[in-house]
Structure 1
Amino acid sequence: MARRAVTPTPPPLAWSSTLHLSPSPPPPSLTGDKLLLPQAALESLLEAASQSAANHLQSITTTHDPASWDYVSPHEAISRRNEARQQLPHPLTFRVTNLATGRVAYAGIREFSAEEGQVVLSNFLREGLAVPVIVTQDQNGTEPPEAGIKVEAVNIPKGTFARLRPLDAGYEEDWKPILENHLQKNFTTLAANNILAIPRLSHQPGKDFKFLIDKVKPEGTEAICIVDTDLEVDIEPLNEEQAKESLRQRELRKRAESSSGGQINIDGPKEGTISDGNIIRFNLRTWDRSKPISINVPEENVDILVSTDTIQGYPKLEEWTWARFDGSKPVVIPSDDPAIVIAKELRISLQIYEQSFIDSNSKKPMPPPTNFLLSITQSTHQNDEEDEEMVDTTPDNETCSNCKRSIPKRSMMLHQNFCFRNNILCPHGCGQVFKRGTESDHWHCTECKAFGLNTPDRNTYNKHMDIAHTARRCASCDYSAGSLSELAAHKTTTCPNKLILCRFCHLVVPQEEDTNFTAAITGLAPHETSCGGRTTNCHICERIVQLKNMEVHLKNHDLERKSQPLPRICRNVNCARITADNNLGLCSVCFGPLYSSAYDPTGQALARRAELRYLTQLLKGCGKSWCTNEMCKTGRANRKPPLPNIPSKEATALVKPFVTKEGLQAGYTSHPLHFCVDETISKRKHVAEMLSFTEDSQGRNGWAIEWCTKAVDTVALEATDELDTVNKAREWLEKFAVKRDE
């Protein structure tokens, strides 16, 4: 039987300290039962852990019988003692006591970053200890005495069971994953008679799940540890009154449910429903950039907010680029608008301005959701005059002086008798005609040319005044705007706290204040101007370039790349090298066997050497198993299907046209040559041909065979195998070669 390793139980940690409660509110990251202790507390805890470990190991009596289960060798005992002195118990748990009230709570540690002599408690611990969430000054203007908090390290047993009791109605959601996720991220301990407030994942913003911790096991303990343990959680069922209220709220939310958004296409309308308090989001990714975009929802009570992907998130009430609130016309975005030119995506939010959330304590039913039809179209922009209805100019018609409609002459008297008795023309000159008795609902803005009509469901005048003529202050800075549109323009352009995705550090950060007015010229946010001052090496030329100048630097490389002429490859069709400086258009390797230092002004000796090489290939062959040269006996035999051998007489006649003095010395522009090459060059030839048939990384047509041949010839010496040659050649082509469609 194998011997089991005996792990000693960690000794109790004897440490306590009395600290002052921090007067500052806890940071947002401090949630659940977590607290912050000062750095000095960590040093004291490590010293206490070392002393406790030393006392505990000295008290252990070990047998000297190696056959015993409890036997610990001297070397292992020393190792355990040293290790124990350097470690704190996990998890580290504390009993926290409010010395003023005697209230006790149990907590886990978040980090040791509090001010010296102070302890920072989460709101959950503050409520449990009956201390105020934020310490305020008394009436005399002096700060109240700081609360004394005693913090002592304790060993809390691992929990096996917890029973929770719902304190309110409305728990029809799937609480298990919500509860599990919340406890795992925010809690180390659970204490009986405490109240857990767990945020909802959907519906009723600001309302939490509330559970009373009714019972914990092991019994006889005030608190249990829930870290690294299998905890069984039991939820008591709702009582009859809570169940009825939950059913009522479920029905209200079902009526208030809105349609889901998602991706939308041009000329692909989306139908759906939207309720008060909800926002539906759509995104448009492809459109014709040469035409304006028209976004329309016929329903007048549905507002349209539009922005681009340059704004973080979807458009909100105070943060949008284009919007429609009056319900009279669609949102039209010109094709030359600077914001749309650089955009990769349009983001659209639909909402109802008059928002009213579900109140669980109110018996008033939710208003029914509104049906809507969102359509996005593109067409040639027309002037407003062309959009207006054309007046009927038929000679048999004339215009009514009251309602300005075109009426047949034969019925004009009858029409006017009815029209003057029942209709009223707006005296302010807007041309609106409304039924007599409803003129009080028609309004004209005294500060602008807007007008409208109030309805029993919506007060459009108050909405217009709130949006167009109510001063608003930016929540992120001290900017004050005269209207909602001014505030939205500020928050999407110049607000120093506008969030951007920095193109250099790739973090979502505030853009900061533009003090030098360089953003309009460079197109970089102030943060990007500062962040882009860092340098890096250009991946093409290895020069040191500032990040903010890298785009221009790479454009210069791109212009140089596109201006390069097509490289000239070896005239030998079987070769995969670049041509050398000779009058035959061959590379240095293929030209080597034909070179002679003898004086040959007419080129006849060169022609004889070329003819001899051709005849040797055709009559004897090169004897290489990889050769597929059609002007070689071996290569013809290696082809599939094999080609017949060429007799001597036919070979001489076949070679003559290739080796004439004029044909040879015509160089690159003449007919190709067919000389045998070694195995390495043959493989490079296949790699170059394969690359010429593939597309680039962007799915374009790729590169010509000349560029592929030069790429393979350039990287061949650095590559380790054929696959490495392919990868490095593609990288070279992406950087330096000109594509077919450029």
Structure 2
Amino acid sequence: MMQFLVYLQFIDGYHRTSSFEQTYRCYSASFIEKPEIENGDKIIMPASALDHLAFLRIDYPMMFELTNGASERVSHCGVLEFTADEGTIYMPYWMMQNMLLQEGDTVRVKYSSLPKGTYVKLQPHTKDFFDISNPKAILETTLRKFSCLTTGDTIMVTYNNKRYYLDIIETKPAKAISIIETDCEVDFAPSLDYKDLGKPNIADETQNKGKFNPFFGTARRLDGKPIPAVYSSRHKNKHVPNVNALSSTTSPSGGKLVFGSNFYRTKETGKEEMEPKREPTEQKKPKFQPFIGRKYSLRN
């Protein structure tokens, strides 16, 4: 009878433990033959962690909060399997770079329950990401290997043996969200190397302010009636949009990715649409010219 009561207290003690928090030494995927973990946000944990988590009332799939105490960097991840050596975890190298971790550094792993995401805003590092033929499909394929997203992290997208990095600058409804079995709206911010050519030059504006503009003002009639404003050709040119400048900025500054619609629209209209159609010119009729013809004589 006493052994039965002790067993109940032992099980009840695990049920009262409402959280999982352990400190491990982290290593990248290069230490094991698991290169596939580089394409997602899942880590490999030891088997003892699974034994502990089995007695907790947790939600599946399991997600964890990672904390680097030295740099105070916080991120979130999922778990792929429980085959790591005791006291160690293996994680993607890009995730270690996000958290400023070196091989063998300690990281705190804590179980976390994240809300399902509804919105995420991404910012590519380079504008080359927008040149991908189908970024919607590439992004969908990449995010299927992720379980959660955290504001402030940088994720990696691989396409044609080229790596593209995207910053997560906003997530809703929380700073860390789950993207498993949820409809999440994705928005894009201008890339980090994007330059807005449409902004006015501040130096030119300051120079123009100091110049003297003759006959600059408003005219008045003697009868008090208003006079429509008349601008010179010099001022009109300032307000005319530069078509060449607008067409040269072909890279998008940002946009919303709506699944099921075309992400890219036609960037340049054809020459046939821009050039007006020329009407066929009428053939000119010959004018009447008098005294034109051959000469004849009555003698012969």
TM-score by length of 1: 0.23
Choose from 96, 100, 119 the match for 1:161.
Answer: 119
CA distance in 1, matches of 2:150, 2:17: 20
- Alignment of 1:226 onto 2:179: yes
- Alignment of 1:116 onto 2:86: yes
CA distance in 2, matches of 1:115, 1:223: 28
Q: Name the CA shift for 1:240/1:101 in 2 (closer, same or farther; >3 Å).
A: closer
Choose from 206, 210, 213 the match for 2:168.
Answer: 213
1:483-632 alignment, distance < 5 Å: none
Partner SS, residue 143 of structure 2: helix
In proportion to residue count, which structure has more helix?
1
CA distance in 2, matches of 1:114, 1:246: 48
Q: Name the CA shift for 1:101/1:20 in 2 (closer, same or farther; >3 Å).
A: same
Q: CA deviation at 1:177?
A: 0.6
Q: Who is 1:46 aligned against?
A: 54
Q: Who is 2:135 aligned against?
A: 175
Q: CA deviation at 1:244?
A: 6.0
Choose from 35, 40, 56 the match for 1:28.
Answer: 35
1:50-65 alignment, distance < 5 Å: none
Q: CA deviation at 1:128?
A: 1.7
Q: Name the CA shift for 1:233/1:152 in 2 (closer, same or farther; >3 Å).
A: same
Does the 8 A contact of 1:163 with 1:234 survive in 2? yes
Does the 8 A contact of 1:190 with 1:223 survive in 2? yes
Q: Name the CA shift for 1:22/1:208 in 2 (closer, same or farther; >3 Å).
A: closer
Gaps in structure 1 of 5+ consecutive residues: 1-10, 50-87, 136-145, 248-742
Give the AA of the match of 1:212: D
Q: CA deviation at 1:209?
A: 2.3
CA distance in 2, matches of 1:163, 1:214: 6
Does the 8 A contact of 2:67 with 2:108 survive in 1? yes
Q: CA deviation at 1:189?
A: 0.7
CA distance in 1, matches of 2:164, 2:249: 15
Give the share of equivalent positions with the same residue, in percent. 28
- Alignment of 1:151 onto 2:151: no
Q: Who is 2:152 aligned against?
A: 193
1:286-685 alignment, distance < 5 Å: none
Choose from 13, 20, 24 the match for 1:15.
Answer: 20
CA distance in 2, matches of 1:39, 1:110: 12
Does the 8 A contact of 1:13 with 1:154 survive in 2? no
CA distance in 1, matches of 2:142, 2:66: 22
CA distance in 1, matches of 2:67, 2:109: 7
Partner SS, residue 47 of structure 1: coil
Partner SS, residue 48 of structure 1: coil
Does the 8 A contact of 1:94 with 1:151 survive in 2? yes
Q: CA deviation at 1:187?
A: 0.8
Does the 8 A contact of 2:75 with 2:153 survive in 1? no
Q: CA deviation at 1:210?
A: 2.2
Q: CA deviation at 1:124?
A: 2.5
Give the AA of the match of 2:42: K
Partner SS, residue 54 of structure 2: helix
Give the AA of the match of 1:41: A
CA distance in 1, matches of 2:149, 2:68: 18
Does the 8 A contact of 1:172 with 1:246 survive in 2? no
Q: CA deviation at 1:97?
A: 1.1
Give the AA of the match of 2:179: I
Q: CA deviation at 1:99?
A: 2.8
Q: Name the CA shift for 1:236/1:48 in 2 (closer, same or farther; >3 Å).
A: same
CA distance in 2, matches of 1:39, 1:163: 36
Q: Name the CA shift for 1:161/1:121 in 2 (closer, same or farther; >3 Å).
A: same
CA distance in 1, matches of 2:37, 2:177: 20
Q: CA deviation at 1:227?
A: 0.4
Q: Name the CA shift for 1:41/1:244 in 2 (closer, same or farther; >3 Å).
A: farther
CA distance in 2, matches of 1:189, 1:216: 10
Q: Name the CA shift for 1:214/1:19 in 2 (closer, same or farther; >3 Å).
A: same
CA distance in 1, matches of 2:68, 2:138: 31
Partner SS, residue 44 of structure 1: helix
Q: CA deviation at 1:40?
A: 0.5
Give the AA of the match of 1:18: T
Gaps in structure 2 of 5+ consecutive residues: 1-15, 198-246, 252-300
Choose from 122, 125, 137 the match for 2:95.
Answer: 125
In proportion to residue count, which structure has more strand?
2
Does the 8 A contact of 2:17 with 2:56 survive in 1? no
CA distance in 1, matches of 2:165, 2:23: 32
